[in-house]
Copies of this chain bind each other. A is one copy, B any other.
Amino acid sequence: MLPVTAITREDAEHCPVRSVLGTVNGKWQSLLILALEDGDLRFSAIKRLLGDISQRVLTENLRMLERDGYVTRTVTPGPPVAVSYGLTPMGRSMLETLKPMVLWAAENFSAVQKARLDYDQM
C-alpha cells in the first residue's frame, strides 16, 4: 500500500510524504532550492534570478525553506545589511532529488506540449 494513504485530515499531517513535500510544492519553492545550487546568494540576487517573484512572497518562501532546514540565512550587519541564503546539507540532499525532475521536465517539455494540444483539440 502507498505511504501516502490517509483517511482523515489529521492523519495527513502525520504522513511523511505529504508533510515533507508539502513545503516544496508551491510555485517557487523548488525553484528557490535550485537557484542556490551554485552557492550562496543574496536576497536581491535571488529575486533578480527568478525575475517575476514578488518581494513579499520571496521572503515568505525563503522563511519556509529555512524553517524546514533546507536553507541557511546569514546576516552581515551594515548599513546596508547584507543577507545571504545558502543550502544546508539537507537542502543539498533534497536538491539531488530535485535535479532529475528538472532534467526530466526539460527533456519532456515538447511531449507534454503536444499532449496538451492533442487533448485540447478534442
A interface, CB within 8 angstroms of B: 2-9, 11-12, 16-27, 30-31, 34-35, 37, 49-52, 66-69, 90, 93-94, 97-98, 100-102, 104-106, 108-109, 111-116, 118-120
Q: Is the CB of B112 within 8 A of A19?
A: yes
Q: How many copies does the complex hold?
A: 2
Tell me, rounded to whole Å, the shortest Cβ–Cβ distance linking A59 to chain B. 15
Which B residues touch A66, using CB under 8 A? 119
Q: Which of B6, B31, B69 contacts A4 (CB 8 A)?
A: B31
Return the chain B residue nearest A105 by Cβ. B20
Q: Is the CB of B106 within 8 A of A90?
A: no
Q: Which residue of B lies closest to A27 (CB)?
A: B25
